[in-house]
């Protein structure tokens, strides 16, 4: 707990952007950080790496393949998850040679000195609007397959996993959790993606934010329920009782996966982003976005991630977001 207080209270603004509870696709929970680089007066990657080495954090996730960052984390014993930005997905999906070129120029030069353990292909790709409609879901599937194929050829598929983070918008509905399914227009790509994850042993990533559900309907949604507090239980028709919305959201994802026929396959779920803002946008009248609520949610999330007996389903990773 003291470690988390240090992170949220005394690190540069860079680290207030995102903090993750991450197990790098292993069954043990750990604490790490999502390293974003949008901001002013940010510390250098070298200073960031040195700072993290002085803590218990040994997992870092970035949103691209910034070579300066990858170099800075060489020989640090810190595991990195890198990413293919959304605008590069189509090119990598074109053919295996494009994927091989991406890997050869952006990842291979830095390993094994830098421990790269996963590649996220896009971010919320299936629900991101490109301006003239949503991005092509088939491109995402093909890009993931092509990257994995290249990793297999290079003998790296057991070291580096390929996955993609989704938003909760991939669901047709998240309540009741036991009846949740994926949106009809996403069933086909989800079948392909989940089959790929099951075959390769990579986790299903979901960005889950109870805060947004409360903000959209504060009169109908209990604040403590979204803050992971001991709220009055919300009942699912199948008899499950949820004392917080995050558990319900994650079970909704599990139900949607099972509804596609993958109930007998081993597919871990990673909470790739979650958190609560400490301040709302100017003039939006959001009274729930306060430092106190952010502290409550983020602290409780960490406690839950470290307490296996409190979960309804198994998770491989937890990410904590600090806007």
Catalytic residues: 124, 273
Q: Which of 45, 112, 92, 51 is nearest to 73 (CA)?
A: 45
- How many whole angstroms separate alpha carbon 67 and alpha carbon 32? 20
Beta strands at 204-207 and 181-182: parallel, antiparallel or unpaired: unpaired
- How many whole angstroms separate alpha carbon 74 and alpha carbon 106? 14
CA angle at residue 159 from 155 to 162, to 5 degrees? 95
Written as one string, the DSSP assignment of 122-171 is: SSSGGG-B-SSSB--HHHHHHHHHHHHHHHHHTT-TTTSEEE-EEEGGGE
Q: Which of 111, 195, 203 is nearest to 151 (CA)?
A: 111
Could you give the 3-state DSSP secondary structure of residue 38? coil
CA angle at residue 319 from 212 to 91, to 5 degrees? 90
Contact assessment for residue 305 and residue 29, using Cβ atoms and an 8 Å cutoff: yes
Contact assessment for residue 205 and residue 120, using Cβ atoms and an 8 Å cutoff: yes
């Amino acid at each position: 707990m003291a470690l988390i207080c240090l992170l949220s209270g005394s690190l540069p603004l860079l680290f207030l952007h995102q903090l993750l509870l991450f197990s790098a696709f292993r069954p043990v929970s750990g604490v790490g950080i999502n390293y974003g680089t949008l901001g002013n007066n940010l510390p250098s990657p070298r200073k960031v790496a040195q700072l993290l080495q002085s803590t218990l954090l040994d997992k870092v996730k970035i949103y691209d393949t910034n070579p300066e960052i990858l170099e800075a984390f060489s020989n640090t014993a810190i595991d990195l998850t890198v990413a293919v930005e959304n605008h590069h997905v189509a090119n990598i999906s074109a053919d295996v040679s494009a994927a091989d070129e991406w890997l050869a120029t952006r990842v291979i030069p830095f390993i094994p000195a830098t421990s790269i353990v996963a590649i996220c292909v896009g971010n919320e790709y299936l629900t991101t609007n490109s301006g003239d409609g949503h991005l092509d879901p088939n491109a995402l599937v093909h890009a993931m397959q092509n990257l994995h194929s290249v990793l297999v050829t290079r003998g790296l598929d057991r070291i580096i996993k390929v996955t993609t983070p989704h938003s909760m918008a991939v669901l047709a509905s998240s309540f009741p959790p036991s009846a949740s399914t994926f949106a009809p227009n996403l069933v086909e790509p989800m079948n392909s993606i989940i089959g790929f994850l099951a075959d390769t042993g990579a986790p299903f990533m979901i960005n889950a934010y109870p805060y947004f559900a409360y903000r959209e309907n504060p009169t109908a949604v209990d604040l403590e329920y979204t803050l992971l507090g001991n709220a009055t239980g919300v009942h699912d028709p199948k008899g499950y009782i949820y004392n917080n919305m995050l558990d319900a959201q994650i079970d909704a994802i599990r139900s949607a996966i099972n509804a596609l026929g993958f109930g007998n396959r081993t597919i871990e779920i990673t909470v790739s982003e979650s958190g609560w803002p400490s301040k709302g946008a100017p003039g939006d009248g959001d009274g729930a976005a306060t430092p106190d609520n952010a502290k409550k949610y983020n602290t409780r999330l960490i406690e839950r991630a470290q307490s296996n007996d409190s979960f309804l389903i198994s998770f491989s990773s937890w990410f904590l977001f600090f806007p």
